[in-house]
């Protein structure tokens, strides 16, 4: 692999962080709208609050990383990126720019509605929160999908030019978004009363069970991604060989993404989810397990972006 990388670590970091933020917002808003309690999240409102506060920052950091990588920024034209806002066209990056800007604004406003007794909102706090949640679900999913479309738009990069890549990135985004909520809850959560303890357990179960389901879908999409590459000939098959056994990125993909990022967390989560799911024996996963699982999912999500971004650039069309 002597090929030069046009897009390096900042882009990888951005794809990962934007995915985490988009996933956290989607999860938070979904829980708020569908979590019982008359549209206010019910006993799961705690999850919604964590997700709301965790969503904006990673996306903003990711966008900053992107700006630092711009060629114009590197030669000292620090504000040339404003040109992105001078036009809108059908380039995925142009649409993505507007989408991300809108995402940052909406997610900040949504997070603000979770500030206890937020100034300037008054009685509008709760209705506004629900309204923004309705916007946040499609917005979060759109942002998560967009990161895959950005890469998928180029026939010259056969590894990326697959319609299922966007779906893979979306599932991974929501999975890492759920994991980051799980992680911060495990680190920061304090309960005092037995009722609160019970509610926390139920929330924990919701998050963990959701994560298992998402990982299952992710494994299926990865299987289809590889399967169709294997069944074709030419550019795509040649490109995909870098992550298949014998390829340069195969160890990182199979050990990092599939084993650490998907299989191990899924098995651990199943171990705790199945007793409740099948036999209603109650869900009791220790705090350290939540931490281990969510960190593994986050590592896997990052490595997925890493492997995909590198693999797309070290491979190209076959023949000249």
- Residues at the site binding another protein, with contacts judged by CB under 8 A: 2-4, 6-7, 70-77, 80-81, 83-84, 86-87, 89-94, 96-97, 153-157, 238, 313-320
Sequence-distant (≥ 6) Cβ neighbours of residue 292 within 8 angstroms: 268
User: Between 81 and 228, whose beta carbon lies closer to another protein?
Assistant: 81
CB of 25 to another protein, least distance (A): 23
Minimal distance in Å, beta carbon 157 to another protein? 6
In terms of CB distance, is 21 or 152 closer to another protein?
152
Task: In angstroms, give the least distance from the CB of 59 to another protein.
Answer: 18
- DSSP string of 174-215, one letter each residue: HHHHHHHHHHHHHHH----SHHHHHHHHHHHHHHHHHHHHHH
Smallest gap from residue 170 Cβ to another protein (A):
21
What's the closest the beta carbon of residue 147 comes to another protein, in angstroms? 14
Phi, psi of 8 (to 5 degrees): -110, -145
Of the pair 161, 210, the CB lying nearest another protein is at: 161
Q: Which is nearer to another protein, 86 or 231 (CB)?
A: 86
Residue 231 or residue 320: which is nearer to another protein going by CB?
320
Q: Is 140 exposed, middle or buried (0-12, 13-18, 19+ CB in 10 A)?
A: buried
Q: Write the CA distances from 82 to 7, 78, 87, 132, 286, integer angstroms.
A: 20, 9, 10, 27, 48
Of 44 and 157, nearer to another protein (C-beta) is: 157
**Residue partners of 63: CB distance under 8 A and separation at least 6:** 14, 18, 100, 104
- Minimum CB distance to another protein, residue 143 (Å): 16
Name, in order, each residue with C-beta under 8 angstroms of 19's C-beta and a sequence gap of 6 or more: 144, 147, 169, 172, 173, 176, 177, 301, 305
Q: How far is the CB of 149 from another protein (least distance, A)?
A: 11
Pick between residue 119 and residue 319 the one whose CB is nearest to another protein. 319
C-alpha to C-alpha distance for 10 and 8, rounded to whole angstroms? 6
Between CA 128 and CA 134 the distance in angstroms is: 10
Q: How far is the CB of 106 from another protein (least distance, A)?
A: 21
The sign of the dihedral angle between the CA atoms of 48, 27, 196, 191 is negative
Residues of 227-238 as b/e, b for ≥16 C-beta within 10 angstroms?
A: eebeeeeebbbb
User: How many whole angstroms separate alpha carbon 156 and alpha carbon 159?
Assistant: 9
Of 154 and 284, CB closest to another protein: 154
Q: Which is nearer to another protein, 161 or 294 (CB)?
A: 161
* Least Cβ distance, residue 233 to another protein (angstroms): 11
């Amino acid at each position: 692999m002597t090929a030069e990388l046009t897009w390096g670590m900042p882009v990888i970091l951005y794809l990962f962080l934007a995915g985490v933020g988009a996933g956290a917002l989607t999860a938070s808003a979904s829980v708020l709208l569908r979590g019982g309690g008359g549209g206010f999240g019910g006993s799961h409102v705690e999850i919604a609050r964590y997700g709301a506060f965790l969503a904006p920052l990673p996306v903003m950091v990711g966008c900053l990383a992107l700006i630092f990588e711009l060629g114009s920024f590197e030669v000292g034209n620090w504000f040339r990126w404003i040109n992105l806002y001078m036009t809108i066209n059908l380039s995925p990056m142009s649409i993505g720019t507007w989408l991300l800007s809108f995402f940052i604004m909406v997610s900040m406003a949504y997070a603000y509605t979770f500030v206890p007794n937020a100034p300037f909102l008054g009685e509008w706090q709760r209705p506004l929160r629900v309204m923004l949640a309705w916007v946040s679900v499609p917005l979060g999913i759109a942002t998560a999908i967009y990161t895959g479309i950005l890469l998928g738009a180029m026939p010259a990069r056969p590894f990326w030019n697959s319609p299922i890549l966007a779906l893979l990135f979306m599932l991974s985004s929501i999975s890492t978004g759920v994991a980051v909520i799980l992680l911060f809850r495990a680190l920061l959560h304090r309960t005092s009363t037995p009722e609160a303890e019970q509610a926390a357990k139920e929330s924990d179960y919701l998050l963990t069970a959701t994560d298992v389901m998402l990982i299952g879908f992710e494994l299926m999409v990865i299987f289809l991604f590889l399967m169709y590459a294997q069944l074709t000939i030419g550019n795509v098959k040649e490109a995909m060989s870098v992550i298949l056994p014998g390829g340069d990125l195969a160890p990182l993909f199979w050990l990092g993404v599939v084993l650490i990022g998907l299989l191990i967390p899924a098995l651990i989560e199943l171990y705790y989810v199945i007793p409740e799911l099948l036999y209603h024996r109650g869900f009791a996963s220790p705090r350290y397990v939540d931490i281990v699982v969510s960190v593994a999912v986050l590592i896997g999500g990052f490595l997925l972006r890493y492997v995909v971004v590198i693999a797309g650039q070290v491979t190209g069309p076959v023949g000249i």
